[in-house]
Amino acid sequence: MSKIIITGGNPLHGKVKVSGAKNASLAILCGTLLAEDEVVLENVPDISDVRILLEILGNMGCGVRWIEEDVLSVKGPQRLSDDAPYKLVKLLRASNLLLGPMLARFGKARISLPGGCNIGVRPMDLHFKGLVALGANLNLERGSIQGKSKRLIGNRVYLDFPSVGATENIMMAACLAEGQTTIENVAKEPEIVDLANFLNSMGARVRGAGTDLIKIEGVPHLKGGRYSIIPDRIEAGTFMVASAATRGDVLLENVIPRHLEPLTAKLREANVEVIEGEDSIRVNADQIDAKNIDIKTMPYPGFPTDMQSQMMSFLSTISGTSIIVENIFENRFQVADELKRMGANVKVEGRMAVIEGVPSLQGTQVKASDLRAGAALVIAGLMAHGDTEISNVQYVDRGYTHLETKLNSLGAQVRRE
């Protein structure tokens, strides 16, 4: 297993281009199963989650081909040739988004329960509730979801929580259902809007994405097409926090500043200068006297849970007490123990973490417990005195394209062994 080794203490300076969004790409790749013709996707990130999902799609009979570095062609099968196998499905959460498209297009699905990072229990009851309301027959058998359906029929679905995945699965399934589907209390994340735009570009009739009510008028077929995926707001956010944490000055290109507003607001509250351009953001923390802040994670447009761990690293050396409340995933404070090994003072009590700022962190050996914990440790390593050696970096590779290259181009000293 490889390790990331960081020699800390270098403020990040320069420009970096943000890649396409992991969570939009994964949902959209699952959505390609709905199309009858070739789909060409631009701005696809080169991350392991995408590569694994492509392998799963290939197993199921899709023709998958990279046309350029970040441009991908996917041609769905006329008939499913195989299931989504456990050995691949267990590696990523988003494999659960194959369920809706498989049922809607092929009338059957067999998928192992999805894996991914251990950040919480992550049930699929809301996905099931919606798909069953559309007429699917779903069972759990020996760790696999077995689904069957005739043509799905539109219905009203109320989500008890605005789940991103449930919204996406039900929305995709409803595109090929007969009649109208209304989904209430849906997630409003930018990746939902991107998925809806992609589906509409193939001939779907989805309205209301980005609000809390989505209406879908089912159509008999979806065609193919060409679509460009939005930039990754979490990758962008990670570089923003890395710039702030190292007291650097970084210009991020290929971003949608509006998607980053929850983070921008918090960084500004901490006295970090954030300058928004049309499709760029500059984060300047060169001369700042950073201030402690409190954070509560919430569904979009609240503060994203996927940026919580990175903020914990940043706050760990700001004098005073900062409080983080994690409202989305119950097991997302695992990085606190690793940060403590680097000298941070963090106390976790249930859903709350209390961070007493210390003057500095010291590099040591640490272990990533999940994707964003890994990103947080990278930021901690950039801030720390001496060398930080991060193991379990397969988690980091799930979501960051060319991370070391990008960081080194900003003046960091990062290598992989």
Ligand X SMILES: CC(=O)N[C@H]1[C@@H](OP(=O)(O)OP(=O)(O)OC[C@H]2O[C@@H](n3ccc(=O)[nH]c3=O)[C@H](O)[C@@H]2O)O[C@H](CO)[C@@H](O)[C@@H]1O
Ligand Y SMILES: C=C(OP(=O)(O)O)C(=O)O
Which residues sit in the known binding site?
A: 22-23, 93, 122-126, 306, 328
Q: Is 153 helix (H, G, I), strand (E, B) or coil?
A: strand
H/E stretch holding 382 reads: helix 371-383
Q: Which does 166 bind (CB under 5 to 8 A by kind): ligand X, ligand Y, none?
A: ligand X
Q: Which does 120 bind (CB under 5 to 8 A by kind): ligand X, ligand Y, none?
A: ligand X
Distances (CA, A) of 214 to 112, 133, 140, 157, 183: 28, 15, 28, 10, 5
As measured in angstroms, the least distance from the Cβ of 100 to ligand X is 12
195 binds ligand Y, rule: CB under 6 A: no
Alpha-carbon gap, residue 307 to 12, rounded angstroms: 19
Window 305 to 344, contacts with ligand X (CB under 6 A): 305-306, 328-329
374 binds ligand X, rule: CB under 6 A: no
As measured in angstroms, the least distance from the Cβ of 372 to ligand Y is 5
**x/- track of binding to ligand Y for residues 21-60 (CB under 6 A):** -x--------------------------------------
Q: Where are the strands (E) in 267-412, listed by range?
A: 273-276, 280-284, 294-296, 321-325, 345-349, 352-356, 365-367, 387-391
Give the 3-state secondary structure of 295-325.
Answer: EEECCCCCECHHHHHHHHHHHCCCCCEEEEE
Q: Which does 277 bind (CB under 5 to 8 A by kind): ligand Y, ligand X, none?
A: none
127 binds ligand Y, rule: CB under 6 A: no
CB 291 within 8 A of CB 270: yes
Binding residue positions for UDP-N-acetyl-alpha-D-glucosamine: 93, 122-126, 306, 328
Of 95 and 284, the one with the shorter C-beta distance to ligand X is 95
Alpha-carbon gap, residue 13 to 409, rounded angstroms: 9
Catalytic residue among 30, 62, 117, 175: 117
**How far is it between the farthest Cα atoms of the chain?**
63
**x/- track of binding to ligand X for residues 266-305 (CB under 6 A):** ---------------------------------------x
Active site residue 117: yes
Q: Which does 125 bind (CB under 5 to 8 A by kind): ligand Y, ligand X, none?
A: ligand X
Window 120 to 159, contacts with ligand X (CB under 6 A): 120-127
CB 171 within 8 A of CB 206: yes
Alpha-carbon gap, residue 28 to 168, rounded angstroms: 9
Position among 57, 103, 117, 336 found at the interface with ligand Y (CB under 6 A):
117
- Which are the catalytic amino acids? 117
